[in-house]
Structure 1
Amino acid sequence: MTVLLSIALAEIMPLRPVEAQLRPDRPTPGTPLTIEALTASSREDVAVNKNLALSRDGTLASVFLKIDLPSLTSFMVQDGITDINAPAAQAYLHQLYAALDALIAQAQQRIPGLIVTHRLDLIIGSVSLSAPVIHLDQLRWLPNVVEVINDRIERIETYRTPAFIGATTAWNRGGGSAFAGESVIFGVLNSGVWPEHPSFSDPDPLGKPYAPPPPAPGNSGGLRACNFGSTTLGDAPFTCHNKLMGSYRFMTAYDFFVGTEPDEFRSGHDDDEHGTHTASTAAGNRGVPASDGSRGFGIISGIAPRAYIVNYKVCGELGCFTTDSAAPCSR
């Protein structure tokens, strides 16, 4: 089973260690990082600091703590292991769990006010947390910590179409769009999706139903969450099916450092259509009429129209925190 993870983020740059340097008032990517207190008067002020994710009052920062053990994925690649359930992989995963547990215990003991936001064992081999800015330097001296890496918020942008990248030629070689992406699971990490959109219907608009998806590995009964619906007006419940087979919301850092507006959906529902656009471009159904409500633009299709989709909402109105975006990859 092929698993695709699409992280639809803009301006991705290499993550850098935290450094105690002065910061310009309005930094741009590449400028030095600060650990000085910052007074942020709005959500936009929090988001504009591209080098360090700070709370509104500037007292807390969001970072990764990388330990001196590789992630499970790196370990498997190094040892030529292809099955995550292989005894060697599971034994290493237990070793990694123990190391992360020990790190969390030490960090919480030494630094008051520290909050763990995510555990990242499948990728990176780290934990993410929010910690008082005045104690950031202490994090690098914790046992087994080899690097303290900044969290940051990224802006979301749009992508391109199947015809532009030559996907239609690939379809013809594989039997046509009716089979393109069959049995592939596409995980979209973005601003959520609008599940009622015809790009995500089952059957597809041409009437071809989807086969039941494989069970979720590691989950009891192989079940997946279907996180749609909240008390926010317009955020209606939705039942997942064999095309859109699961939905999750990973926005711990965003909720803590930026916060959602009253009209923002607190579920997997898409607030600004970017995630819906990206998911439908990558794996939306074939045969979908496109319209702006007053005129039609023809029939559209995703690049892998027969792929399954799992929605991971990691982005809010102002963007996507790196720690939140990494968290679904450890599921």
Structure 2
Amino acid sequence: MRTVPLTTDGPTVSAQGLGCMGMSEFYGPGDEADSLATLHHALDLGLNFLDTADMYGHGANEELVGKVVRERRDEVVLATKFGIVRDRETGARSHRGDPEYVRAACDASLSRLGIETIDLYYMHRRDASVPVEETVGAMAELVAQGKVRHLGLSEVSADELRAAHAVHPIAAVQTEWSLWSRDVEESVVGECARLGVGFVPYSPLGRGFLTGALPPVDELPADDFRRGKPRFSGENAVRNQDLLAIVRRVADAHGATPGQVALAWVHAQAERWGLPVVPIPGTKRRERLDENVGGADLVLSPEDIAELDTIADATAGARY
């Protein structure tokens, strides 16, 4: 797996990472043994960029990932996040970005992971009650203390990125970006390019839809969060099936899978926008990981990209 520097002075990571969220929650039941095997397999393939967060499985995902990271620390660039607070009983969410919480959340993550330093620490969501400069200032203190190496932001606006970057260099912005989720192109991606900040797209496979292998939403496990998302339900789901015909047509021309084409399109955005783009498709299974790796090396023609670009205008339903 080729490597990519996220920023001039940021971490160098594999061109494609691994999102670990689904190993613990949101995409049906997980299996710890399978997940651990998948994590080791990713590192064996050269995928050194692992992504987790303190809210995934109420901390269970960090504990899971930490088991592998501790064994192979020198092979991993580890990213985790803070800022989304979930009630264990009701599932209700809130956001915190006050300095006291930033410090406490970092210490808790380090404890669950069982390591001394987090390579890339993201503000998962902005706390609207706290100036972003104040949150990032507290994060910068963690860098000075050696608890964190680089800082990142997730789901922020261009203005918030500028304000944060003025306080401390931001290594990466993480936001959903795929063939059918392209609102980030309105301003945030361009601002990342201007500032020299890397972009880490999550859900580059459209939460599994763009693989063409996702069953109807009513056949998903009862706890699969896609059951309640607009794009997967009702008339939207029917209309969005037409999008897959485009992806399959390009995939057939390359002897590839639809998922590999979807990932190749995301990788192609690096040249289009002039910045590092490192997608982090998630999976619990080794065979799916092997398939995804093929998307990092698939080269699409300008004609392929132009055809795939039409999907964004045809997508039915909002992200959330």
Specify if TM > 0.5. Answer: no
User: Larger relative contact order (C-alpha < 8 A, sep ≥ 6)?
Assistant: 1
Return the structure number with greater helix share.
Answer: 2
TM-score by length of 2: 0.22
